[in-house]
Each structure stands twice: as structure tokens, then as C-alpha cells.
Amino acid sequence: MRQVTLGLTKATVSAISLGTWSYGGSNTIGDRSVGWSGHDDETAKQALIRAWELGINHWDTADAYGNGRSEELIGEMWDAAVARKDIFLATKLGWVMGPHDHYYHPDFMRHQIELSLKLLKTDVIDLLYLHHCMFGDADEFFDPAIEVLRRAKEEGKIRFIGLSDWDPKAILKYADKTNPDVIQPYRNVMDDDYVTSGLRAWVHQHNVGVAFFSPLKHGLLTGKYTEPTTFPVGDMRLGVPEFSDPTVLAKIREANKTLTATFSTHPQPVLHGLLDVLLTDTPTGCVLLGQRSPAQVEAAALAGTEMAKRDAEWVRSLYRAC
């Protein structure tokens, strides 16, 4: 697996890194489905061991994934062969509100940091993100939230500070004030505001690390969904309309066939096309792929190879029409 330097952190992480949202299993907040169906602890643990063996050494989780279950499962791996020192461990806080009326109450943030340390069975979290940029109508929650992270860093509980959001414009709005080591934006070949928002230019200027999330649009882009598909309550994919849109599904399958033909000498032509394209314009970046099984890890480990800029342009144009 190709390794990249994650910007200011100087950490060396796998170009294809590992996301563990699905390891929290099915979950709802109110009437919103925010988890993943089809999770199995044993399969997930085998996936983590295989990832470690194959050099996929940056694992991303969050307090919100299964209300701590994803963190807990990772914490169980240090007794199951994986060396903690080999893994660059990232988690997030911000989507669990606790007993307050907003997401970034300092007391609750401190509580969540302690809980993450405990569940992850670690003395230090390598990277802690603010999970979203909802800092109040007048940004009133921003300064106290940053202060909690800075203090946690001084106390040696976290090594680096990250900032995330689904909307790259929101990350850009708070980027200078946060001065993050790493940002985590949404990016895939269908949804690519990372460039048009100006966030890419900001990344280049500041040399921060980048971890692109949902690079396969939650699995939609693999092309395995040949028919409109719905998901059970508790699965976030229930709220992604493209899974039930036959026209989009057909266009993705066609585009993937073209990828397979064009990159026919690559051992994973579709993953190469969809994932490696995202790294061509961001040398400090990696992708966070939600790998759920040893087989998915083994396939992912064959991606992460370099792609020429001209090929990257071509791949982007192929999916612009989807």
C-alpha cells in the first residue's frame, strides 16, 4: 500500500485508509437513520486484522458511530494481535449532543474525550476532529469548542486537531480560525465541491492533511447495485436517493464498464478509477474507505496507486454525467 504524508502531522498513512462508520451497526436519531445494517462484529474484526497486515494503518471512527460501539470494537483489537503503535487512530466528537441543547458544550466534549480514550483503550488519540461546523447562529460555540481541543492537546490526550463537515464550504469558513492539522471533507467522483468551494486551494496554501470521506458514495459507485435498492430503518443509505434511482444506477454501471476496459491492466480497475482519482490533486491526502470485510480490505489494498493527471481528468468527466 502506497503511503502518504498527512500534511502538517508528518504522519505516514496509507493512501487508502479505513473508515469504520458501519462498525457501529444500525442506528437512529429520532426518525433519522444514521447507522448501517449488515454489520457483523467478527467480520469487522477480521477486516481490521487484515488491514493491519496489509499496511492500511490509519483508522477513522467517531463517538457517534453506534454510540461508541465502533470505537469499542477498535479498542478490542489491541488484545487481538494488532499493535496500537502501528495505527494512526482518528476519532471525532460533535454528533452526540448529550444532556445539552447544542452539540459543542465544553463539559460534554471533555466527557466524550475521556469516553473515547476509554473505549479505544488508548492513552492518546492521534487525531480528534470536530465532526461538523454547526457552531451556533453567531458562532458562539466555536471558541469554547476549540479551547477544549487545544487543552486536550496540551494535556497529551490528543496529538492533532481535525475539522470535518459534509459541506466543504463550511470547513473553509472555519479553516483559518481552527488552524487544523487535518481536514475531513466529503468527496467522490459524483459529489466534488472540494475544488469549486475553494477548499483545495486553501489546503495547498496551508499544507494540511486531508482525509476524503465516502469516496464510493457509501458503496453506490461500486456498481454492485443493479436494481433500485432500499435499506432497513437504521441504515443511513435509506436517505440516499440515488440507491433507488434506476437511471443513475444504469449510468454508474456503464461508466464502471468503461473504467474496467481502460484500466484493464490494473488489478482493481474500478477501485483504482474511483479512489485514486481523488488523490491526484492533493498530495497531502488519503481516502477513507468504509471496508467491512477482509475481502474488501484485500481489494482496497491493491488500489492507492498513482494516477496520471490526464487520466484523472478523464475519470472525472466520465462521472460528471451520472
What is the Cα–Cα distance from 270 to 254, expressed in whole angstroms? 12
End-to-end CA distance of the chain: 30
Q: Which of 39, 69, 157, 292 binds ligand NAP (CB under 6 A)?
A: 292
Which of 187, 309 has the CB closer to ligand NAP? 187
User: What is the per-residue DSSP string for 138-162?
Assistant: TSTTHHHHHHHHHHHHHTTSEEEEE
Binding range to ligand NAP, per CB under 6 A, among 120-128, 152-160, 287-295, 314-322: 287-295
3-state secondary structure of 11: coil
89 binds ligand NAP (CB under 6 A): no
48-67 mask for ligand NAP (x: CB under 6 A)? ------------x-------
Q: Which of 299, 312, 315, 318 binds ligand NAP (CB under 6 A)?
A: 299
Which of 40, 107 has the CB closer to ligand NAP? 40
Write out the binding residues for ligand NAP, residues 231-250 only, by CB under 6 A: none
Per-residue buried b or exposed e for 131-156, using 16+ beta carbons within 10 Å of the residue's own CB: bbbbbeeeeebbeebbebbeebbeee
Write out the binding residues for ligand NAP, residues 122-161 only, by CB under 6 A: 131
Binding range to ligand NAP, per CB under 6 A, among 19-27, 79-87, 100-108, 144-152: 19-27
Q: Which of 180, 290, 294, 304 binds ligand NAP (CB under 6 A)?
A: 290
282 binds ligand NAP (CB under 6 A): no
Which of 189, 307 has the CB closer to ligand NAP? 189
Q: Which of 67, 222, 258, 260 binds ligand NAP (CB under 6 A)?
A: 222
β-strand pairing of 32-33 with 28-29: antiparallel
Q: Which of 93, 163, 288, 307 binds ligand NAP (CB under 6 A)?
A: 288
What is the Cα–Cα distance from 141 to 247, expressed in whole angstroms? 43
β-strand pairing of 12-14 with 16-19: unpaired
Binding range to ligand NAP, per CB under 6 A, among 115-123, 140-148, 256-264, 286-294: 286-294
What is the Cα–Cα distance from 58 to 3, expressed in whole angstroms? 10
214 binds ligand NAP (CB under 6 A): yes
Neighbouring residues of 121: CB distance < 8 A, sequence distance ≥ 6: 75, 76, 78, 84
- Residue 123 has phi, psi (to 5 degrees) of -85, -25
Neighbouring residues of 204: CB distance < 8 A, sequence distance ≥ 6: none
Q: Whole-number minimum distance, CB 291 to ligand NAP, in Å? A: 5
Q: Whole-number minimum distance, CB 118 to ligand NAP, in Å? A: 20
Interacting residues toward ligand NAP by CB under 6 A: 19-22, 60, 131, 164, 166, 184, 213-219, 222, 271, 288-292, 296, 299-300
